Amino acid sequence: MTSTTVQFLVEMTCDSCVESVKKVLENVDGVKIVDIDLAKSSVVVESSLPILDVQEKLETTGRPVAIKGYDGSMAAVSILEAGDEKIQGVIRFIQVNPNTCIIDGTIDGLNPGNHNIAIHECGDLSTGCASVGKMFVCDSRNKDYGDLGKIVAEKNGRATFRKENNIVKLADVIGRSLVVSSKLNGLPPILLSCGIIARSAGLFQNPKTICACDGTTIWDEASKPNSKSSL
């Protein structure tokens, strides 16, 4: 599995904070600490694990954690905001090289079992998931271009996944929609939830710590469900 490098903002005030962060990440399979900068409250991690898993490890220190950026030629995020209100999730896309796009996400509120995620043609949520169009086909030679495959929700309704896709080019799908669907008894897919795929910050490209409009700190925003400030 291709690893990705992610910059986290972790509230640290002293050297013991740094040691605490190091300790929770040491000897975790699939995780390599690239850099910890106390002055910038920055923790850069290279990992093949789902991003949420790494974030939750950092949060065990008791410190607020926010995601600042991703290493790659391009990054994007889709926040599920239309469809079934009980379904919430964040799906991140990282184009780590010209031939590999990592799709990393966590979705809550699903019925246990198999579901499907796909890229659809339109970034139009004006009538919910009914206006996202058909599944996106960028390459006429590959009719399944937009099909990102199966995800599995556990008994608690959560699906956490990390997919390595060698077909999708992120530049072609920004502005379109990510759709979660369910298929039953051979019937056409039921579109459950969807969100627009929007470009997000690359590594060290997000300097934001305070919102200029209302003074909200990134820690305030990171504590809100589906917050866009740290995506």
Pair 60, 119 in one domain: no
Pair 13, 85 in one domain: no
Pair 150, 39 in one domain: no
Contact (Cβ atoms closer than 8 angstroms) between residue 88 and residue 157: no
Instruction: State the residue range of the domain holding 87.
Output: 74-199
Distance (Å, whole) CA 74 – CA 60: 29
Distance (Å, whole) CA 148 – CA 91: 12
Distance (Å, whole) CA 43 – CA 180: 32
Q: Could you read off the pLDDT tens digit of each residue along the chain, which spans 231 residues? A: 778 888 888 999 999 999 999 999 988 888 888 889 999 888 998 888 888 888 889 999 998 888 887 776 688 999 999 999 999 999 999 998 888 899 999 999 999 999 999 999 999 999 999 999 999 987 767 788 999 999 999 999 999 999 999 999 999 999 999 999 987 666 778 899 999 999 876 544 444 443 333 333 333 434 444 443 344
> Is 227 inside any structural domain?
no
Provide the whole-model pTM. Answer: 0.76
Distance (Å, whole) CA 175 – CA 55: 26
Distance (Å, whole) CA 96 – CA 5: 9
Pair 163, 114 in one domain: yes
User: Integer distance in angstroms from the first to the last C-alpha of the chain?
Assistant: 23
Q: How many domains does the chain have?
A: 2
Backbone angles phi, psi at 47, to 5 degrees: -155, 150
> Is 208 inside any structural domain?
yes
Pair 78, 185 in one domain: yes
Backbone angles phi, psi at 126, to 5 degrees: -60, -30
